[in-house]
Chains A and B, each alone.
Chain A
Amino acid sequence: MDTNNTECTYKQGSLPGCSALGLAVTPAQASSQPAYESGEALSRGTLFPGLDLPFMNIVNKMPASTTPLRELMALDFVCNELALYLDTHADDTEAFETYQSMLKLYEEGRNTYASKYGPMQRSDMAYAPNFNWLNEPWPWDYVKEG
């Protein structure tokens, strides 16, 4: 790719030199690094500090203590964020390796979670004692802290 600025910071991206007129051009994110740790990524709403652009500069505080469900959400969130990145950066082998290791962590985490608290997806019931898909709560139910 022909680029006219190779020394970009993580808040910037590369632009093609001599771009065609008559089309909006977005700088391409150069790398999947730097990246937040998974819990912070979930709180921030993005894995990437370079894309973290909060309204009025107010950011979510990390909760004082986490839960098994929140940890699982964080792993799945990082997997999703990396998948979107890879959709437009399919040749980034480093990001793909990170994606694969995060997928493995999520799979392990989901299996452990499902055996303790019930299925996250129906296939988690392969070794369940009964049809525990119907266990409360459902995701939209209000559940008190803790």
Chain B
Amino acid sequence: MFMYQKKLQYPVRIKNPNPALAKAIITQYGGPDGELGASLRYLSQRFSMPYPELKGLLTDIGTEELGHLEMIGAIVHQLTRNMTIEQIKDGGFADYFVDHTAGVYATAASGAPFNAACFAVKGDVIADLSEDMAAEQKARVTYDNILRLSDDPDVSDVIRFLREREIVHYQRFGEALRLASEKLDQKNIYAINPAFDR
């Protein structure tokens, strides 16, 4: 089960509203490489994992990603608080505003709502861990792109923290893939799927 800690993983303190930036950053809430998809990908994949280090790593990273989802929600919330209608119009935020006001909704920057098709659970050790490594890279690039767009140092500070976490997670998934491969038949690592063939 999960227990809530009443704090963020990293401080989010954004002085000025900026709906245009919020509209880009919301993609890490509900977009294809966002934190919601990341968390659900890892927390779902762990059920079929055969080795304890894989169960542990997917649990721990999936849990951390839930904390990142909360941080992204906090950024969007703070960027959209006390907005004027002029700021909403000028920031290109009217189409989000008309559907969600200043609520935080799981959507991609393009406006496509969150879709479970953006994360994969294949039920195969090598396929799922390779997926996870690619997912961390895609999230890292999304944060690179947000850093290119951000003109607010309060926002960039938090984004740099989240981006660095993707690199650490990539390393851990890479190590996990290697640990798993060492347990397989060294003459043919693809002979079986250890998540299914016992």
Residues of A within 8 A of B (CB): 16, 20, 22-29, 42-46, 48, 51-56, 58-60, 69-70, 72-73, 76-77, 80-81, 83-85, 87-90, 118-122, 133, 138-140, 142-145
A55 touches B163 (CB 8 A): yes
B60 touches A140 (CB 8 A): no
Say yes or no: A51-B7 contact (C-beta < 8 A), given A24-B174, A139-B74, A142-B81: no
Within 8 A of A (CB), among B47-93: 53, 56-57, 60-61, 64, 70, 73-74, 77-78, 81
Contact check: which of A23, A26, A53, A84 meets B57 at CB < 8 Å? A84
Can you list 30 pairs linking A and B with CB atoms under 8 Å apart?
Answer: A16-B182, A23-B177, A26-B174, A28-B178, A29-B175, A44-B164, A45-B165, A45-B168, A51-B167, A51-B171, A53-B164, A55-B143, A55-B144, A55-B160, A58-B160, A73-B8, A73-B9, A77-B9, A77-B10, A80-B64, A81-B168, A84-B61, A84-B172, A87-B176, A88-B57, A118-B6, A138-B6, A140-B12, A143-B13, A144-B13
- Main secondary structure, interface of B, reads helix
* Number of A-B residue pairs at CB separation under 8 A: 141
Instruction: Compute how far the CA of A84 lies from the CA of B61 in the bound complex, rounded to whole angstroms.
Output: 7
State how many angstroms separate the Cβ of B62 from the closest Cβ of chain A. Answer: 11
A54 touches B164 (CB 8 A): yes
B181 touches A72 (CB 8 A): no
Interface size class of B (residues with CB under 8 A): 35 or more
Within 8 A of A (CB), among B24-57: 53, 56-57
**B102 on interface, CB distance cutoff 8 Å:** no
A121 touches B6 (CB 8 A): yes
Within 8 A of A (CB), among B1-24: 3-15
Instruction: Compute how far the CA of A145 lies from the CA of B92 in the bound complex, rounded to whole angstroms.
Output: 29
**B116 on interface, CB distance cutoff 8 Å:** no
State how many angstroms separate the Cβ of A48 from the closest Cβ of chain B. Answer: 7
**B195 on interface, CB distance cutoff 8 Å:** no
Say yes or no: A54-B160 contact (C-beta < 8 A), given A77-B9, A87-B60, A140-B78: yes
A28 touches B9 (CB 8 A): no
Residue from B6, B57, B190 with most neighbouring chain A CB atoms (10 Å): B6
Nearest first, the 5 closest Cβ-Cβ pairs linking A and B are A26-B174, A45-B164, A140-B74, A88-B175, A87-B57
Within 8 A of A (CB), among B118-165: 126, 130, 133, 143-144, 147, 157, 160-165
